[in-house]
Chains A and B, each alone.
Chain A
Amino acid sequence: MVRFLLTRIATAIPTLFLVSVTVFALMRAIPGDPAALMLGDLAQPGQLEALRAEMGLDQPIIVQYLYWLGDVLSGDFGRSIATRQPVLPLMLDRFSVSATIVLVAVFFATLIAVPAGMFAAWRQNRAGDIAVIATSTLLLSIPSFWLGLMLLLIFGLQLGWLPVVGYVPFSRDFGSALLYIILPVVTLVLVESGSITRMARASTIEVARLEYITHARAKGLSEATVMWRHAFKNAFAPTLTLIGLVLGSLLANIAVIETVFTIPGLGRLLVDGIYARDYPVVQGCMLFTAFLYVVVNLLVDLLYPLLDPRVTA
């Protein structure tokens, strides 16, 4: 197990290195100058050059990269060009916001989608299956920003039940925090449960065709026992992979939802950083996101043997 863990961590290092090079190069390749964006059309003669020099942007790109990489390796992700805040605490702070919403959303999406998928598989090609498939396909097809806006208009604006903008941390006020995350969480649950349902259904159907399930049924076990005790574990393994990917993807791509609901999370930090050409923030966020993917997938791989004894860590 320890060897497996070390091997996986070792293989992650080149991935993260490649991400760092790619992100750094891409940010420098796209037109736009952070110093120019900060000063806008109000810049006085000489100020732009002075600011670029202060930011180290007058150095050759390789030198800039090596400085940045050296700092990152020592735990210093630099300071945001726009806000002058240290990037690492800024990212962690924003990540805690995104993670709260994503984890709650993925938890509920799994709670709803996996039983729904298994139910559909059990009732394959019958009315129940068709209803589940139709609903999940519909949810899969709805863009998250549109669904978010609709929920916002109905529950925030028309009915006035829930707040429209902002975020309150749970550490500050539990009740308010709950109110503020309902709409973004519901949006994500609806959108993501579609794909999880379909995966759960497909893998359950596949497992249900195996001989050991027929054997279990032949022994006279009830359908509930067959499905939950024998089919679930094996059928859940591929779904778990998908959940891992969904989790990683949401943590990286929650920007749209954060923009619609005005949530100060990691995604919005990244998007704002791209608009402002805030190189340290964008580089830090991308590297952090890649790191998250690696960690989530590692955790999924570690959970695999618990579900399927044929897989060894």
Chain B
Amino acid sequence: MKRTFLISTALAAGLLLGASAEAATLNIRINADIRGTEGIDRDANTDTVLHHIFETLVGFRADLSIGPALAESWTVSEDGRAYTFTIREGATFHNGDPVTSADIKWNWDHRVAAGAEWFCNGFFDGSQGLKVEALETPDPRTVVFRINEPNALFLAQLANIQCNGWVASPKNAGPDGKWIDGSAIGSGSFKLKEWVRSQYITLEKYDGYTPPKEKASGYAGDRTALVDEAKFLIIPDTSAAETALFAGEIDVLPNFESQRIEDARARGLKVMTTSGLSLTPLLIQTTDPLMSNVKLRQAIARAIDFKQIAAARTANLADFNPSGVPQASAFFDEDFLKWPEYDPEAAKALLAEAGYKGEVIKIQTNTRYQGMYENSILVQAMLAGAGINAELEVLDWAAQLDNYLAGKFQMQSFGYSARLDPSQFYGVIIGDKKAEPTAQWDNPEAWQLYLKSTKTTDFEARKAVFKEIHALMAKDLPIFGLYYEPVVAAVGARIEGFDVWAADKERAWGVKKD
């Protein structure tokens, strides 16, 4: 009896010790490994992980306005050409070194030195208007960026998640100035603990993190870690990831299929949704002999019930939106939804006017991205209903992307990456098709309006410019926006504080695990 008690006590003590030693780990699924820790060679997963380790000077709030991150405050000169940032008091790198203005200059020079390899270089080198002419460091906590002319996008580009323009310790580089492979000394609330390639990346809470005073929102404000570890598990297969979530092996499953929400809720999981920033459109090649006919494009626009597609594909989570201004944007209002109404009879009349004689219209699509495939099927059926002979051309994603880059298609079911400012999106779709085959809309008037949107700093004035662009787009019909992909994440019942936001980036800070 005495012996049994002793064994039981020892076991209980062991269990208790084990329990107290067990770190609270938040397990998040990513679908592929990160590409590195330097942030220049990047993809969406790389951005997600690295933004936990490193901080940009400013970050996007959940409402897509700009808030403090590594910089606790900033001022803009009267002429709009000098931005002065004050580094957060007490900010230190994971090795204990204080973050200074010299470090920010080092990072900036390192990025600029990468040239075309850093894909955001064009945003700052003057090739697209904005040019950073000088970076000054008057004292250890102050940094001044001097730009060539007032620009509405400067802060947004500094905060641009995909640019990874964050601040890293210069000690991440070796004596040759090159980044040390796998090194990740940042100032974020998590630090790199272990990266097992193709399996997982474990981050651990950085106790030296001193938060800004502002409440956490998006990538801005207080980013204090509440869990001991955040583990990003690489699970390429969606079904396997879902099974792992149901089995409790992962806590957060981003990009959860809208159609599976009810099932997840029935299993006791939480599902978070919000409007997103990734436009899902139908691309139209306006240089194609057939598709260059604006009457035909009008007929196609009338033949497609855009609202029904948006509702069906997103389980009513997203509404139809044909514009470059997403519902999640502060610039959005109902004017951005103006578009030719669904009217199959009007479509038939327009087809006759266009002189359409049943020629085949090919819609390129792929099965790798189920949403693109299903959209193309719905569109094909609707076009057939109006008498348009549309055929699907199902390609491998790599082949479809090749065609997108070369402009080789009549119609294509596509999906754009998220752009956090409407100007960024219009900058992608408007352009000279001969020089840039990825441009969807070759219209000099639209281009001038786009340039105006980048230089106008007043909010209402910018909104008015965006409205002008959209009105012109509804007339030209160069691209058919369907909806902005909703952001959906399924989360384990033990998780508190996790939330989704329009930028569709998971954040492990501010999250507790029961």
Quick check: is A160 within 8 A (CB to CB) of the other chain? yes
B231 to chain A, nearest CB (A): 11
A181 to chain B, nearest CB (A): 14
Q: Which residue of A lies closest to B399 (CB)?
A: A31
Quick check: is B510 within 8 A (CB to CB) of the other chain? no
Check A262–B237 contact: CB distance below 8 A: yes
In this complex, the member of B198, B236, B237, B435 whose beta carbon has the largest number of chain A beta carbons within 10 angstroms is: B198
Check A264–B198 contact: CB distance below 8 A: yes
Check A31–B199 contact: CB distance below 8 A: no
Per the 8 Å Cβ criterion, residues 46-85 of A in contact with B are 46-48, 50, 54, 82-85
Q: How far is the CA of A37 from the CA of B366 in the complex (A)?
A: 14
Check B116–A46 contact: CB distance below 8 A: yes
User: A30 contacts which chain B residues (CB < 8 A)?
Assistant: 396, 398-399
Quick check: is A143 within 8 A (CB to CB) of the other chain? no
Quick check: is A305 within 8 A (CB to CB) of the other chain? no
Given A153-B243, A260-B240, the answer on whether A166 and B398 have CB atoms closer than 8 Å is: no
Check A261–B198 contact: CB distance below 8 A: no
Q: Which residue of B lies closest to A158 (CB)?
A: B247
Quick check: is A152 within 8 A (CB to CB) of the other chain? yes
Check B246–A43 contact: CB distance below 8 A: no
Check B236–A31 contact: CB distance below 8 A: no
Check B404–A259 contact: CB distance below 8 A: no
Check B243–A42 contact: CB distance below 8 A: no
Q: How far is the CA of A50 from the CA of B397 in the complex (A)?
A: 22
User: A268 contacts which chain B residues (CB < 8 A)?
Assistant: 198, 236
* Number of A-B residue pairs with CB-CB distance less than 8 Å in the complex they form: 123
Check A32–B243 contact: CB distance below 8 A: no
User: A36 contacts which chain B residues (CB < 8 A)?
Assistant: 398, 401-402, 405
Q: How far is the CA of A137 from the CA of B233 in the complex (A)?
A: 38
Given A157-B243, A165-B244, the answer on whether A42 and B399 have CB atoms closer than 8 Å is: no
User: B428 contacts which chain A residues (CB < 8 A)?
Assistant: 41
Given A164-B249, A260-B240, A272-B32, the answer on whether A45 and B122 have CB atoms closer than 8 Å is: yes
A24-43 interface bits toward B, Cβ cutoff 8 Å, 1 = contact, 0 = none: 00000011110011111111
Q: How far is the CA of A167 from the CA of B234 in the complex (A)?
A: 11
Check B119–A44 contact: CB distance below 8 A: yes
In this complex, the member of B33, B117, B197, B240 whose beta carbon has the largest number of chain A beta carbons within 10 angstroms is: B240
Q: How far is the CA of A269 from the CA of B32 in the complex (A)?
A: 11
A contact set with B: CB distance below 8 Å: 30-33, 36-48, 50, 54, 82-85, 94, 149, 152-153, 156-157, 160, 163-167, 259-262, 264, 268-269, 272, 275, 277
The 7 closest A-B pairs by CB, nearest first: A32-B398, A31-B399, A264-B198, A44-B122, A165-B244, A50-B116, A164-B247
